[in-house]
Amino acid sequence: MKPGGPPSKGSRLRSATARQAGVAGENVDPSTALRTSLAPQILDIDGFIARVEPFFKENGFYEKEIARRTEQFGNIAHVWSIYESRHNEDDPEPFMRGINSIQLFNDGKRWWIVNIYWQQESAENPVPEKYLTLN
C-alpha cells in the first residue's frame, strides 16, 4: 500500500479468513512498526485492520514473501511464510523481516486462514538460514 494510496487490502484479508479467525503478533508501536514487547497482541480481523491501516496509509507497507515452509495433514495445514517489509515497493532494503505462522483448514472446497501469528526479526532472533529457501 502506497502512503496515502488506495483503500486497504482489508477486504482481501477478510475473504481469506474463517469468520472467527485471529491475528496475533508482537506488540508493535504503530508509529514506527518496531517491537515494544514480546507479549502477543491478539485481535480479530477487523481489529487488526483498524489497528494497522492508519500506519499503512501514512507510511506505506509492502510485504513480500521470500521463503515458505508448509506442512499438511488431512484438512489442516501450517505455513511459515518468511517475509520482508518495505515502505515503498522499490526501497532497496527492507525495514523489517520476520516469519508469519499461518494455520489453515480446508472445508472441502478451499483453504481458510484460522490464525496468523508473526514475529519480526531482531538482533537476538534473526531469521534462521534454514528458513530462507522456498519449499
| Structural domains of the chain ordered from first start | 9-132 (3.10.450)
Q: Tell me the C-alpha distance between 14 and 21, whole Å.
A: 9
List the end-to-end C-alpha distance of the chain, in Å, as a whole number: 27
pTM, to two decimals: 0.72
Q: What is the pLDDT of residue 30?
A: 52
Reading the block at residue 13, the C-alpha cell is 484479508
Q: Which of 100, 123, 87 is nearest to 2 (CA)?
A: 87
Q: What is the pLDDT of residue 111?
A: 92
Q: What is the pLDDT of residue 43?
A: 72
Provide block-wise average pLDDT over 10 residues at a time, the chain (135 residues). 50 59 58 58 74 80 93 96 93 93 93 87 90 78
Q: What is the pLDDT of residue 59?
A: 80
